[in-house]
């Protein structure tokens, strides 16, 4: 909490820069009127009014926005008619004049910034780029193809259209020129213009940045919540909330730096020794960009923590989070290339140095990192040179980074922590060549060396009584990478005992309005390239028109392709439908995070189609269809989603969404069958000043094979016959609103009822809930711009479950209860209620 106090103090100091100061004559008169909207407090206080009234006028303008006319002064507390008549001839109201281009863009784009600031997406690098480049835009005549691809909702076709048009005409001078680029879509044009400027950018050495601090007590979702609930309360050392602080700044156009700190709900604080004091463990980076040494362009050099992603994310993309159906398009984009890392990543963060070089049509990325990883260690040691050595079983991404698994006394007694117990040395390169402006072929290679042997072992994770049921382990567990094939020394690190090596190539090409991309990779198991090594393949094609686009994608992942840095397209994460998904079978329920937090995709083989078609101004249709096979057991699965949006009149929007999803639907002989049907309808009314009212209705059901033996042991003669759970229904009904009090303050909220499984976007948070009895839920979120540079978001949520009446009429020996007052029963009401808060502070300067 000391860190937060220091940050707030820094904000107060920096806020001195907020107030626009313009020199005006102190002698205000009808001939030399004071412009109130652009005046400082000192200038307003020189008017013939009390000082406290001058402060109220200045505060009103600073925190509620500029005055629209001079008569609004009468609305300020303390302003009398006599005082107003005295100062009216001496003042005027003109439009607010921003101090800088950055401040002007901040005003124009505040709505988008309000969404990005609280964005909980998995790619923090993209969000940071969008915030930075919306305020410090690219030069449209210098921006590269790869940089265009990373912009929000800009497709490869849009990026290629801009680059090809610029090469054809020489320069792009205006938005009109940009719109004339052949094959650029309307949405690509609209999104690009928010991040670029059409004038040469002057050199400057100004210090700019963005600081965010966020605190909340939002619990974990579904499976994680169930497993976390198993932790004995006495082992939780604090009740501190989730705390996330990030800062990124720039000194001129070429020097970048950043800082981030993340602490999860209830976890102990982790400190690091910097020699003269202990400080919380945080991430830092320093970057230098756009330097030249002769013909070599040093586009980026980053020291500290950095993020990488190439191609389709098959070989390398280092983040801790899984995103289903990550196609690289629309809202499923990934940041391609090198950037500083101030995200919440803690397991797969890269700490070291990386650079991006350019030479002619070539691109070269070199990277190296050394860091500690969290892992489950085997309790059974191996003897190496006469010393006991505990191999690594599995890498694991932890929600709460306790030193030990709290309900695994065996490992605690053996002093086998799961936090920071394995060191990893990683190095590699990515080399690419542009044959044409939007046609590229690249090769990626990385190698990881570990100071522990890799010995994945099912029996070291599953509790003893469940080990005998070996069939529950699943092929995906048995094919985890490790064993003697991974044993090796490293020529540059003497402590290395095992390794993992992954390599592959990627390509992309754009022809007119068609983009084709792909990536192929292999995990080296000494079988030779294209000769039996585990492989992964992703291919996609995307065609785009103004009112229609179609994406087709194919993926094929070998079961043995176990790459912890793979983040390519899949529907499910690794270890879905294995015993690791059922935390109650494991030695510690927290080991269930091997599945729930696994960022790797499941081994799948199948194809995916996504399309959007605007039929006319009233109708828009979106379709997603995915058909795939789980490689581990050959189970067939599908997912079909259709969305129809209808606008009978402009302010009214009706959104109808239907999902069909199933597994082994045509196989009547397996218990693996399920089928899910979900309908979600929304009616949204757009009001004036961007206000909004809406209604939501959800109806869903998931069907299973009946398995009564798991629910009730039917005895002969027993009148009760439980036929088993054959369906899991869900229903929800609610209303939501958004009200803009003015340009600087917005209130939004939701009130609704749900029963069963329910997911929802709540302002900037994505939430998953489940209630078997039914629950009421509401939330209110207030977003306000305290000043031109400072914004605050506050959200309160309450979840109110339907109550349960417990009535006890008998004692444990089955005798009736009796009391002095004649009552023979006891009863009470149990009604679980949860309250959550979310607080966020943003500062741009």
Q: Rounded to two decimals, what is the model's pTM?
A: 0.85
The whole-number pLDDT of residue 308 equals 95
pLDDT tens-place string over residues 147-178: 999 988 899 999 999 999 999 998 999 888 89
Per-residue three-class SS string for 486-555: HECCECCECCCCEEEEEEEEEEEEEECCEEEEEEEEEECCCCCCCCCCCEEEEEEEEEECCCEEEEEEEE
Where is average pLDDT lowest: 173-182, 419-428, 801-810? 801-810
Rg of the chain's alpha carbons, rounded to an integer? 30
The angle, 0 to 180 degrees and rounded to 10, between the axes of the packed helices 101-108 and 124-135 is 120
Pair of tokens at residue 601: 């995709």
> Is residue 814 within 8 Å of residue 763, measured between CB atoms?
no
Q: Which residues contact 543 (CB under 8 A, 6 or more apart)?
A: 513, 514, 515, 549, 550
The whole-number pLDDT of residue 734 equals 97
The whole-number pLDDT of residue 3 equals 44
- 464 pLDDT above the threshold of 90: no
Going by C-alpha positions, the residue among 461, 710, 407 that lies closest to residue 580 is: 461
Distance of alpha carbon 216 from alpha carbon 307, whole angstroms: 26
- With vertex at residue 443, the alpha carbon angle to CA 442 and CA 449, rounded to the nearest 5 degrees, is 150
The residue that leads in pLDDT, 807 or 219, is: 219
> Is residue 349 within 8 Å of residue 336, measured between CB atoms?
no
- 51 pLDDT above the threshold of 70: yes
> Across all residues in the chain, what is the average pLDDT?
85
294 secondary structure, DSSP code: T
The pLDDT confidence band at residue 451, using thresholds 50, 70 and 90, is very high
pLDDT tens-place string over residues 102-148: 666 666 666 666 666 555 544 666 777 777 777 788 899 999 999 99
Place of tokens 């969008």: 130
Q: Which residues contact 413 (CB under 8 A, 6 or more apart)?
A: none
Whole-angstrom CA distances from 249 to 20, 135, 340 are 22, 12, 11
pLDDT tens-place string over residues 532-564: 899 999 999 999 998 999 999 999 999 999 999
pLDDT tens-place string over residues 622-635: 999 999 999 999 99
Whole-angstrom CA distances from 229 to 226, 548, 578 are 5, 47, 21
The whole-number pLDDT of residue 713 equals 46
pLDDT tens-place string over residues 491-507: 999 999 999 999 999 99
pLDDT tens-place string over residues 664-681: 888 888 878 889 999 999
Handedness of CA 181, 182, 183, 187 (dihedral sign): positive
Q: What is the mean pLDDT of residues 583-589?
A: 88
- 192 pLDDT above the threshold of 70: yes
pLDDT tens-place string over residues 514-530: 999 999 999 999 777 77
């Amino acid at each position: 909490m000391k860190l937060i106090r220091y940050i707030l103090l820094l904000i107060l100091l920096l806020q001195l820069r907020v107030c626009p100061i313009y020199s005006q004559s102190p002698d205000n008169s009808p001939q030399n009127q004071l412009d109130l909207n652009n005046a400082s407090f000192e200038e307003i206080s020189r008017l013939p009014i009390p000082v406290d009234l001058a402060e109220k006028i200045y505060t009103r303008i600073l925190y509620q926005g500029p005055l629209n006319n001079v008569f609004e002064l009468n609305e300020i507390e303390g302003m009398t008619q006599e005082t107003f008549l005295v100062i009216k001839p001496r003042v005027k109201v003109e439009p607010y004049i921003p101090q800088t281009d950055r401040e002007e863009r901040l005003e124009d784009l505040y709505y988008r910034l309000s969404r990005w600031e609280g964005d909980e997406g998995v790619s923090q690098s993209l969000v940071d780029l969008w915030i930075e480049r919306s305020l410090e835009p690219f030069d449209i005549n210098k921006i590269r193809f790869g940089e265009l691809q990373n912009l929000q909702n800009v497709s490869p076709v849009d990026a290629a259209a801009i680059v090809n048009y610029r090469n054809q005409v020489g320069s792009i001078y205006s938005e009109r020129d940009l719109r004339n680029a052949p094959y650029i879509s309307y949405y690509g044009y609209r999104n690009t213009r928010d991040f670029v400027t059409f004038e040469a950018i002057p050199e400057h050495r100004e210090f700019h940045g963005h600081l965010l601090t966020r605190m909340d007590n939002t619990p974990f979702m579904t499976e994680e919540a169930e497993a976390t609930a198993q932790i004995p309360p006495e082992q939780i050392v604090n009740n501190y909330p989730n705390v996330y602080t990030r800062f990124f700044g720039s000194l001129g156009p070429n020097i970048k730096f950043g800082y981030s700190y993340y602490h999860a709900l209830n976890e102990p604080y982790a400190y690091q020794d910097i020699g003269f004091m202990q400080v919380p463990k945080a991430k830092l980076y320093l970057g230098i960009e756009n330097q030249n040494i002769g013909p070599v362009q040093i586009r980026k050099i980053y020291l500290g923590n950095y993020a990488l992603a190439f191609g389709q994310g098959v070989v390398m993309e280092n983040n801790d989070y899984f995103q289903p159906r990550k196609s690289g398009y629309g809202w499923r984009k990934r940041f391609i290339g090198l950037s500083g890392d101030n995200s919440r990543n803690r397991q797969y963060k890269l700490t070291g140095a990386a650079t991006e070089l350019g030479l002619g049509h070539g691109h070269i990325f070199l990277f190296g990192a050394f860091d500690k990883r969290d892992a489950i260690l085997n309790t059974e040691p191996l003897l190496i040179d006469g010393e006991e050595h505990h191999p690594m079983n599995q890498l694991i991404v932890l929600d709460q980074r306790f030193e030990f698994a709290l309900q695994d006394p065996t490992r605690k007694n053996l002093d086998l922590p799961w936090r920071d117990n394995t060191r990893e040395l990683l190095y590699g390169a990515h080399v690419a060549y542009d044959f044409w402006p939007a046609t590229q072929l690249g090769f990626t290679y990385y190698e990881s060396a570990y100071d522990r042997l890799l010995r994945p072992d099912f029996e070291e994770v599953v509790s003893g009584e469940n080990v005998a049921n070996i069939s529950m382990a699943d092929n995906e567990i048995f094919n985890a990478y490790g064993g003697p094939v991974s044993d090796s020394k490293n020529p540059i690190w003497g402590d290395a005992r095992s390794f993992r090596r992954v390599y592959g190539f990627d390509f992309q090409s754009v022809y007119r309005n068609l983009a084709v991309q792909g990536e192929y990779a292999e995990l080296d198991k000494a079988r030779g390239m294209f000769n039996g090594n585990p492989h992964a393949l992703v291919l996609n094609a995307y065609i785009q028109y103004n009112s229609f686009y179609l994406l087709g994608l194919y993926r094929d992942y070998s079961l043995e392709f176990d790459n912890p840095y793979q983040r390519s397209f899949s529907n499910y994460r690794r270890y879905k439908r294995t015993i690791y998904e059922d935390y109650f079978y494991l030695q510690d329920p927290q080991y269930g995070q091997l599945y729930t937090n696994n960022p790797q995709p499941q081994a799948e083989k199948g194809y995916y189609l996504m399309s959007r078609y605007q039929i006319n101004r009233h109708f828009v249709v979106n379709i997603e269809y995915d058909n795939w096979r789980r490689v581990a057991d050959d189970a067939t699965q599908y997912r079909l989603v259709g969305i129809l949006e209808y606008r009978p009149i402009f302010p009214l929007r009706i959104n109808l969404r239907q999902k069909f999803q199933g597994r082994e639907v045509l196989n009547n002989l397996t218990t693996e069958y399920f089928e899910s049907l979900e309908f979600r309808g929304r009616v949204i009314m757009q009001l004036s000043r961007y206000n909004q009212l809406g209604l939501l209705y959800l109806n869903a059901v998931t069907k299973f094979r009946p398995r009564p033996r798991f629910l009730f042991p039917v005895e002969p003669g027993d009148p009760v016959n439980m036929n088993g759970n054959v369906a899991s229904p869900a229903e929800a009904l609610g209303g939501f609103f958004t009200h803009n009090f003015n340009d600087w303050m917005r209130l939004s909220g939701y009130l609704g009822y749900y029963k069963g499984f329910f997911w929802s976007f709540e302002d900037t948070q994505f939430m998953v809930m489940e209630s078997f009895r039914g629950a009421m839920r509401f939330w209110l979120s207030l977003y306000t711009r305290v000043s031109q540079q400072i914004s605050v978001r506050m959200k309160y949520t309450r979840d109110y479950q339907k109550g349960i009446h417990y009535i006890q009429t008998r004692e444990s020996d089955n005798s009736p209860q009796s009391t002095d007052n004649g009552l023979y029963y006891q009863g009470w009401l149990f009604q679980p209620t949860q309250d959550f808060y979310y607080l966020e502070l943003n500062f741009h300067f």
